[in-house]
Structure 1
Amino acid sequence: MNQQPLTDKEQKIVEEFEKARPGLGAIAENNIRNNHLTGWADTIADTPESELVVRDGSSSNSFMYRRIGG
C-alpha cells in the first residue's frame, strides 16, 4: 500500500466521500492507496479538476445517492 501523502485532488475525493456518508472517506482513501489493484489514483489524476464535483442523482434501483464526477 502506498503511504505517500495524497495529492490535493485525491484529498478532495476522500473529503467528499466522507461528507456524503461518514466512513466512506476511509474506503476511498484505501482505494486510492491501493492504486495497483483499483486504478483509483490513476483515474483521479486523469480527471480534470473541473469534473471533480459532487452531484445528487438516482440509480436504476431508485435510491438517491451523492455522486462524485460527471
Structure 2
Amino acid sequence: MKPLTPKEQKVVDEFESARPGLGAIAENNIRHNDKTGWAEIIADTPESELIVREGFSSNSFMYKRIG
C-alpha cells in the first residue's frame, strides 16, 4: 500500500477533525481511486482549498443518513 501524499493526508486529517471516524472513510475513498476518483480530485485541488467548511444541503434525507 503506497503512502498518502501530503495533500491526501491533509484531506484525511481534515475529515477526521470534523468528525472522528470520517478520516478512515476519506482514506478508503482515496485508496480506491479507481472507483471514486478522490486521489485525482485532491491532486487537482489547490491545497488552500482542502479545508473542512460548514455548510448545508437542501437534501434533508442526506443529513439523516450521514449524521
The TM-score with structure 1 as length reference comes to: 0.79
Higher RCO (Cα < 8 Å, 6 or more apart): 2
Which structure has more helix as a fraction of its residues?
A: 2
**Deviations 1:6-58, CA, capped at 9 Å, x for gaps:** 00110000011111111111010000000011100000000011211221111
Uncovered stretches (5+) of structure 1, i.e. residues with no partner: 64-70
What is the one-letter code of the residue matched to 1:48?
Answer: P
Taking the TM superposition and a 5 Å limit, the aligned residue runs for 1:29-44 are 29-44=27-42
Q: How does 1:44-59 map to 2 (within 5 A)?
A: 44-59=42-57
> What residue number does 2:11 align with?
13
TM-score by length of 2: 0.82
Give 5+ residue unaligned stretches, structure 2. none
When structure 1 is superposed on structure 2, of 45-54 and 29-38 the one drifting more is 45-54
One-letter amino acid matched to 2:4: L
Root-mean-square deviation (Å): 1.1
Of Structure 1 and Structure 2, the greater strand share is in 1
User: What is the alpha-carbon distance in structure 1 between the residues aligned to residue 54 and residue 22 of structure 2?
Assistant: 16
Take 2:44 and 2:16, find their aligned partners in 1: how far apart are those partners?
Answer: 22
